[in-house]
Structure 1
Amino acid sequence: MTTSREHFSGAEAQAGASDVLLAEAARHGGDAEVWTAWHETDELVCRAAAVERHSEVFSGATALTVWAEGNEGYAVRNTPGATDPALVTTALDIGRVLAAADAAPAPHVDRAPRTPAAAPLPRIGSDATARLRALTESTGDVEVELRARADRTRVRLHRAGTGPAEYDTGVAQLFARVTARGDGTGYIGHQIFGRTMEGVLDAAERTELAELVGLARILAARPATALDHDDVLVDGRVLCRLLTLVAPAFLLDSVLEGRSPLKDSVGEHVASPGVTLVDDPTAADSPLPAPWDGEGTPTGPTVLVENGVLRGFLSSRRTAAEAGAPVTGSAQRGANGEMTTVQPGHLVLSHTDDLGTETRADRTVLHVVQANGAHTSNPITGDFSIGANAVLVSPDGTRRNAGNITLAGNVFELLRSIDGHDGRVRVNRSNNSFVAGPGVWTRSLTVGHQEGA
């Protein structure tokens, strides 16, 4: 079996591969750069104190960009260190096709910095395996399944005439699935992300698993016959799912293509006072740090909404050139080196007012704890209807199963009607994009029982 050390050593051995492609592009009169990634993923699934699956996967990709004849073309190969000269001719052909659609931005002169390797990169070792097995021991009415994953990536960007820039990064992920059996079956899932597997397991062991077991037992109880409540608290787990619907509206390509309802709203209030939305892949709590994006543009904090006011959008080199806007370093490539698209790296919603967790004096709170999938959703209008689970919390803290509910509304209206937060930040992942936010108190949602619930 190829070890992690041997795999990343292979990256060193393939370092000269980019020189071959750059020389071939120059032979055709082109300027070029080569983006290469080496990926390693460990995955371990534990249930009932036993390891059900353990896998190690090694993969990677090579992406070539060529500037020639005033055009910009791309080619991708799902192999790290590829040297096939056909990549160059393919990129040249694609550049000629793209030239008919729009003008290519000039190659940028600012280069990605050489970045020291992150340490330590996440791994699932024998100690983590033992902890995972112990955390899934049976407790009678409750079954715990844990899926641990450790991703490690080395990225290299090599531009003709310069030395290659490189960084290592990684993310530890734990998905917990807790099932309880009582009057019925209660289920809740939760994801935890971090820089190390030890840190993720510490969070699970310290607070998360006990809370999830408690919620699963409540959701297994007979549901309340009525949803009478005074206030609604949308858990961060659910808010992050809803924020993925609104994220495209903050991308400059969506603005240029007329798909963003916020395209003419810079400087206007688009969220409640106190709401801030920032994207920053370099933040200390970013699960997958990246010092520069898929085009080599340095990354950093981009304020999208400040105290409820829209300040700007995320952009790539191409979209920024077309709009005459600043480049934000938001051009991301997929795991297979696909052409860059504008995506957030670590998008975080915050609010200035901490209104506390689910218990309120003289008020019954409907705490929406889990989203079960979108029945309908429209990322352009922001309208959505989702299935969800919730608990009813009495003023004395008593919690009852609210049953399976339907949660409907408009995500843009939700941003405009957030009264405060509960202090519990959650994170959701979509490929290499992360969305984070706390639970929010809001007045904008319609709640109903699902049919047959």
Structure 2
Amino acid sequence: MSTTTSTSGTPVRPYGECGAYAELAGAAARLNEEAAARGAASEVWAARQEVAEAVLVRGVVERHSTVTTSVAALTVRKDGHEGYVVHSPAGRHDPDLVDTALAMGRALPAADAPPVADGPSAVQVSNAPEARIDEATLERLRRLSDGPADVGIELRARADHGCVLLQRGGTAPLRRGTDTFQLQARLTAKGERVGHIGHHVFGRDAEDTLAAAEARELPELVQLARVLATEPVPDPAYDDVLVDGRVLARLLMLAVPAFLLDSVLEGRSPLAGRVAERIAAAGVSLTDDPTDPDSPLYEPWDDEGAPCGRTVLIDDGVLRGFLSSRRTAAEVGGRSSGSGRRGPMGEMATVQPGCLRLRPGPELGDRPAEGRTLLKVVQANGAHISNAITGDFSIGANAVLVAADGGQRNAGSLTLAGNVFDLLRHVDGHDGRVRVNRSHHSFVATPGVWTSRLTVGR
């Protein structure tokens, strides 16, 4: 199999071998031809996805399944009207779909259509290698889930393999792969009490993802589960607070809408009108880049065909801009940041990040200073209260107390309350361990942060 290199330096392979590509491209071309015959401009977005999942507990495969789905969205523009229709399966060619989309457009008020983005037509690539759960991967998962006698390990693996195609009438189609591999680990330790800990690991293929889990993540989780299975200390006194990246990534999801241009235009972002203002601590940066080699999903272009790249949202604590789609960028006279993404059923594109990454100031490690005790928040247990507009939150959490020599004690179940924007303004440093959270195909990556802006209670 031949490989090439994308403009970001990421190894990629041509996606011509995708069995569904020819079917998707053929159906898209025919729909565009039907629209052109009716005097309409059109474009077809189509996706095919094969999702393989496996669940293993203590070395036993409890479930192993594969599901394949496909969906397509047709957009037509004629006489200032825009119509839209979604259909499944994606390879189906039905001329009535064009008539339905045109009728929907006529029923809606006429409006200026956003300019067509100049898509990266030379970039027609996929990730390499493919994300699959083959017999070798299943055997490795079986071995990893067969842990020590006092710790039960449940592993849930998911491999997403598929392709996305975008074809406008009269142009060559764009195509890209959607390969990602996800491993969810749930550990239960039995000691003086029962201790639970969970964690997600993401990658582009099974080999690298499982290697990282085996070498570091699972051994650390076993040790942590054992600590959480001990009796909590009666008075969890501490000097400093470190919020682990797996917890902070979930909290950062609350801040995501504030950095989307549609939220700004609709008056839902607390950051509207604050570009060039300091909104975070010095040294804090926030970027979105789905072409980053460390992104679990490489995307050279978004679901509207706009090129993806690195978008700086915060630089050294100062707000620099927002993420936009083709439509929202047109409203302010700008260009899309490549952040127009569709939902799993082909819904109209909305503004969403690809791979949002927080880099918070100096690295301080995960050990307290001599003579001090660190409260390390290691797991979020659900949001009691959360507000994506204000950033306020109150969540249940588990934490451990870390001594200067690295010894850990169970701090028990806690409640954390605060405001995510206030937290960003009071970041002292980070621990160097990047964790990733995922919402649909948007990723948020961040290390753990040291902060003094949390209210902690039992």
TM-score (norm 2): 0.94
Report the Cα distance in structure 1 between the residues aligned to 2:290 and 2:108, rounded to whole angstroms.
Answer: 30
For the 8 Å contact 1:113–1:298, the answer to whether it is kept is no
State the match for 1:20 in structure 2.
30
**Runs (5+) with no aligned partner, structure 1:** none
- Give the residue type in structure 2 aligned to 1:20: R
Report the Cα distance in structure 1 between the residues aligned to 2:315 and 2:108, rounded to whole angstroms.
Answer: 37
State the match for 1:301 in structure 2.
310
Structure 1, residues 396-442: CA drift from partner, whole Å, max 9, x if none? 32211111100000000011000100000000010000000000000
The change in CA–CA distance for 1:118 and 1:7 in structure 2 (over 3 A counts) is: closer
The change in CA–CA distance for 1:338 and 1:183 in structure 2 (over 3 A counts) is: same
Report the Cα distance in structure 2 between the residues aligned to 1:126 and 1:316, rounded to whole angstroms.
Answer: 41
Alpha-carbon offset, residue 111 of structure 1: 5.2
State the match for 1:31 in structure 2.
41
Alpha-carbon offset, residue 323 of structure 1: 1.9
Report the Cα distance in structure 2 between the residues aligned to 1:6 and 1:155, rounded to whole angstroms.
Answer: 12
- Give the residue type in structure 2 aligned to 1:135: L
For the 8 Å contact 1:78–1:337, the answer to whether it is kept is no
State the match for 2:75 in structure 1.
65
TM-score (norm 1): 0.95
Report the Cα distance in structure 2 between the residues aligned to 1:385 and 1:335, rounded to whole angstroms.
Answer: 29
The change in CA–CA distance for 1:242 and 1:83 in structure 2 (over 3 A counts) is: same
Alpha-carbon offset, residue 146 of structure 1: 0.6
Q: Does residue 210 of structure 2 align to residue 191 of structure 1?
A: no
Report the Cα distance in structure 2 between the residues aligned to 1:14 and 1:396, rounded to whole angstroms.
Answer: 59
Among 260, 266, 270, the alignment partner of 2:279 is 270
State the match for 2:5 in structure 1.
none
- Give the residue type in structure 2 aligned to 1:357: D
Q: Does residue 117 of structure 2 align to residue 81 of structure 1?
A: no
Query: Matched residue of 2:221: which SS?
Result: helix
- Give the residue type in structure 1 aligned to 2:34: E
Among 371, 381, 384, the alignment partner of 1:372 is 381
The change in CA–CA distance for 1:6 and 1:24 in structure 2 (over 3 A counts) is: closer
For the 8 Å contact 1:377–1:384, the answer to whether it is kept is yes
State the match for 2:226 in structure 1.
217
Q: Does residue 329 of structure 2 align to residue 323 of structure 1?
A: no
Cα RMSD (Å): 1.7
The change in CA–CA distance for 1:237 and 1:14 in structure 2 (over 3 A counts) is: closer
Alpha-carbon offset, residue 110 of structure 1: 4.5
- Give the residue type in structure 1 aligned to 2:78: A
Structure 1, residues 109-134: CA drift from partner, whole Å, max 9, x if none? 54544423332111111211111111
Q: Does residue 359 of structure 2 align to residue 350 of structure 1?
A: yes
State the match for 1:93 in structure 2.
103
State the match for 1:443 in structure 2.
452
The change in CA–CA distance for 1:80 and 1:384 in structure 2 (over 3 A counts) is: same
For the 8 Å contact 2:361–2:428, the answer to whether it is kept is no
Query: Matched residue of 1:270: which SS?
Result: coil
Structure 1, residues 314-357: CA drift from partner, whole Å, max 9, x if none? 00011001122331010001222111110000000002300111
Alpha-carbon offset, residue 294 of structure 1: 0.5
State the match for 2:403 in structure 1.
394
Among 414, 427, 434, the alignment partner of 1:425 is 434
Report the Cα distance in structure 2 between the residues aligned to 1:326 and 1:26, rounded to whole angstroms.
Answer: 27
**Runs (5+) with no aligned partner, structure 2:** 1-14
Query: Matched residue of 2:208: which SS?
Result: helix
Identity, in percent, stands at 57
Report the Cα distance in structure 1 between the residues aligned to 2:96 and 2:405, rounded to whole angstroms.
Answer: 70
Report the Cα distance in structure 2 between the residues aligned to 1:423 and 1:106, rounded to whole angstroms.
Answer: 42
Alpha-carbon offset, residue 80 of structure 1: 1.5
Report the Cα distance in structure 2 between the residues aligned to 1:236 and 1:389, rounded to whole angstroms.
Answer: 13
